[in-house]
Chains A and B, each alone.
Chain A
Amino acid sequence: MDIQRKKGVIEICVLAALKKGPSYGYRIISDVSSCIEISESTLYPILRRLETNGIVSTYSEEYNGRTRKYYKIEQSGLEKVQAFLNESEEMRKIYTFVENA
């Protein structure tokens, strides 16, 4: 996949991993990896940007004597996911057309 496209898609996958509930770094990578390859170093800037823009919010929780940072999807994040799904619907129609033409 084209690298720019991949970067955009990874962001949506990260948001989708948060749709069901707040999550943390390791688990996000684990979830997203089932669909698309992602490294820790790729994930970090994405999470940081999402946090800066209020697309996700963060909080810390104690776990086994250490601190774990949780990411929670906000309304604007849910809207981004929905926009992606709407666009994908359109892409699906185009794909069907191209395939069957």
Chain B
Amino acid sequence: MNKEIFLQKLTENLVSLNKEEREKVIAYYTEMISDKVENGAAEDAVIQDLGSPADIALQICAEYKKAADSLPAKNAGIPDSEPSRYTAAGDVKTIIVSAQNIHVDVRSVPAGRVRVLFDPLPTDKISVSEADGVYTFIHSIPFHLFNWFGLFHAHGGITLEIPESFSGDVSVQTDNARLTVENLRHLKSGTFTTDNARIVVSGTECGKLSAHTSNGKVELENCTGQTCKIKTNNGRITANSCTFPAGLDLHTDNASINADRVKADTIIFKTNNGSINALIDGDARNYAIHSHTSNGQNTLPADWTFPEQTKQLSAETSNAHIAVKFTEGGMR
């Protein structure tokens, strides 16, 4: 393949880009080929090393699509930190996001402002307000347009970006769609709510963490803070490597609770028809223990209280086993 044919094929394959962007790509490769040839390489070898025009175009278009999907868009180039339509203007201490039938991903960004990335459909109703340090983003679908059969939003989801410096309160709610929270640090409180879908919180440091769903599982991974309260039903709760000294409360129904390496002074595991499996990072002797199940093996004593004990563990279920161990003090 010679230079002309390569560039022509590349142009053909970049058909999904607008003219201005396409011309920039061609200019880049034209210049690159000329420079390489000028520096002693043979044109044929240069073209071959670049790879197939189809593959190159695929890679470039994928980058554009990735950017276009995650931002409300002008499709100018490959945006990264362009402010979105829903960027907070001032100092934010409280974030409230409420959505309907759209999944929400909450993530931390190293710098910048609190903002929501979302590409609404014409039928979406959005209301954004900011006053006294409270940033509110509300998305809803007008009732008569609610698509009962396809409860999934045709578009992508909502992304809430919170800068690393933020240390206030966050409350995010959606329904019939998942909620994920990643790597938020030093939050004062975080309340995450959905229905009929799962919640996943990872790498997050939050004074008061609360997650509530129904018919969906909740997964916590590497989270720390003061207190953590999880409620679901018909959905399994998994909490791995979490530390909440002032209290860890995991409550579900008809599903198991699994807590691998959790550390807290007050622990409540409550479910029924589901097993409780946990490894508690701590000394068993410090815990006043109350546990109960029917029709299931139990590694814990039913009632074990001594005055010197400063911590509490309560594990309750039925029709399933309780397998709770401690890293120290017996019961391993």
How many chain A residues touch B (CB < 8 A): the figure is 23
Q: Is B39 part of the contact surface with A, judged by Cβ < 8 Å?
A: yes
Q: Is B63 part of the contact surface with A, judged by Cβ < 8 Å?
A: yes
Q: Could you tell me if A26 and B32 are in contact, using CB atoms closer than 8 angstroms? A: yes
Q: Could you tell me if A52 and B80 are in contact, using CB atoms closer than 8 angstroms? A: yes
A contact residues around B4 at 8 Å (CB): none
Cα separation A41 to B82 with both chains bound (whole Å): 23
A67 and B77 contact, Cβ closer than 8 Å, known pairs A41-B59, A53-B82:
no
Q: Could you tell me if A51 and B77 are in contact, using CB atoms closer than 8 angstroms? A: yes
Whole-angstrom distance between the Cβ of A28 and the nearest chain B Cβ: 10
Q: Could you tell me if B56 and A66 are in contact, using CB atoms closer than 8 angstroms? A: no
Cα separation A47 to B31 with both chains bound (whole Å): 14
Q: Could you tell me if A25 and B32 are in contact, using CB atoms closer than 8 angstroms? A: yes
How many chain B residues touch A (CB < 8 A): the figure is 29
Q: Could you tell me if A52 and B31 are in contact, using CB atoms closer than 8 angstroms? A: no
Q: Is B27 part of the contact surface with A, judged by Cβ < 8 Å?
A: yes
Q: Is B326 part of the contact surface with A, judged by Cβ < 8 Å?
A: no
Q: Is A45 part of the contact surface with B, judged by Cβ < 8 Å?
A: yes
Q: Is B25 part of the contact surface with A, judged by Cβ < 8 Å?
A: yes
Q: Could you tell me if A53 and B81 are in contact, using CB atoms closer than 8 angstroms? A: yes
Residue from B31, B67, B110 whose CB has the most chain A CB atoms within 10 Å:
B31
Q: Can you list 29 residue pairs at the A/B interface with Cβ under 8 Å?
A: A24-B31, A24-B35, A25-B28, A25-B35, A26-B32, A26-B35, A29-B32, A40-B50, A41-B55, A41-B56, A41-B59, A42-B59, A44-B25, A44-B60, A45-B59, A45-B78, A47-B28, A48-B24, A48-B77, A49-B63, A49-B67, A49-B77, A49-B78, A49-B80, A52-B80, A53-B79, A53-B81, A66-B31, A66-B34
Listed in ascending order, the chain A residues whose CB lies under 8 Å from chain B are 24-27, 29, 39-42, 44-45, 47-49, 51-53, 64, 66-69, 83
Q: Besides A44-B28, A45-B60, 10 other CB < 8 A contacts?
A: A26-B36, A40-B32, A41-B60, A42-B59, A48-B24, A49-B78, A53-B81, A66-B34, A68-B31, A83-B110
